[in-house]
Amino acid sequence: IPAVSGGELLATELSHQEILRYSRHLIMPEVGLAGQKKLKEASVLCIGVGGLGSPLAMYLAAAGVGRIGLVDFDVVDFSNLQRQILHHTADVGRPKLESAAEKLRAINPEIEIVLHEAMFSSANAMDICRDYDVIADGTDNFPTRYLTNDVCVLLGKPNVYASIFRFEGQASVFHAEKGPCYRCLYPEPPPPGMVPSCAEGGVLGILPGIMGTIQATEVIKQILGSGDPLIGRLLLFNALDMRWREVKPMKDPDCPICGENPTIHELIDYEQFCGISMGSEEAHVEELGADWNITPSDLNSELQREGKVVLVDVREPHEWDICHITGSTFIPEGDVLARMNELDTADDIVLICRTGIRSARALNQLRESGFTKLRNLVGGLHGWADDVDPSIPKY
């Protein structure tokens, strides 16, 4: 960590109030006065202040990390509140950075909070990360994970990583100078749509709290220079079984960024690398073109007129139980090809999901199988609830 050199005590002094605040650290020989001064001198960048970033940032603030940077550009949504504990009901609609900064300053007014309200991208990542000692990746998408990894390798900084999905989490510390990087473990991203997002697949609200506090622990260990870090170790957690496993990924000598003959020397287009052409899964919808999409209002008008429109809902069974449009046919996305014999190519078919993303993928599958009279409901059931039927709950 650049803030600490030669194991010497830092010049930074603690006030009487800080000594009282951090007293439970100070009486631990593994931290002590010298360690608390290291924490005060250190700087950590938290990429994302959502499910993982909430407990991560809160515990770093409480621990006395002197400068905490936050990167996010989203606003608080009701669906965040089940797990993103930095944000409260009254914060819905506020920028997440504004909400997060308020809570962190209330936890510890002694520290500095730096806000980076921007989409973390190849254009700004180097400038944002350069002045921080440790980078903590709390993101939920593959382009940003590869971007964070590459920035940390190029700048020689530790990348404290965690990810979550449904009941499962994983955590590690990727530090190319001492062990494998993220690319060593995952050389190629999964095909777009192969791994559902939390919005599609869900996540146990407690899980990011568990994994985020593990991240905070690893960050503090990096700053203190003590303990056995998760470098070269991938921690796997299953909350449903309450079991932990550990695997030991090896450094890949052929890794394109940290291997013996690296071919990546600067940041690349990570959305293109991950097969996402427009920066988000919504690209699937827009790429269909106007002829393959239908708005909720237009669909409602067609349903009011005579003529057969077949509605096919491609969500999962538990989502169907929450809500659905009366009269629609239920065929989960994963079963579309196996059950396409249940559909008539002569019918006008409108595919439906929660937000229009999965239904766009299903449309492409059917189109490649010879169906031509297909349309995707833009905005999915959320759009239907907004424009046509507010009795449909949004989830």
Question: Is 57 in contact with 86 (CB distance < 8 Å)?
Answer: yes
Q: Bridge-partner residues for 115, per DSSP?
A: 70
Active-site annotation holds for 198: yes
DSSP classification of residue 342: G
Active-site annotation holds for 255: no
The amino acid occupying position 33 is: L
Residues 6+ apart with CB under 8 A from 192: 274, 275, 276, 281, 284
Task: Identify the active-site residue in 152, 184, 323, 353.
Answer: 353
Task: Identify the active-site residue in 198, 258, 274, 323.
Answer: 198
The amino acid occupying position 298 is: D
Q: Which element (helix H / strand E) includes 21?
A: helix 16-21
Residues 6+ apart with CB under 8 A from 238: 167, 168, 245
Distances (CA, A) of 301 to 47, 294, 348, 349: 44, 11, 14, 15
CA dihedral 71, 76, 77, 82 (to 10 degrees): 80
The amino acid occupying position 69 is: G
d(Cα 210, Cα 216) in Å, to the nearest integer?
A: 10
Strands 243-247 and 234-238: antiparallel
Question: Is 73 in contact with 128 (CB distance < 8 Å)?
Answer: no
Residues assigned a catalytic role: 198, 353
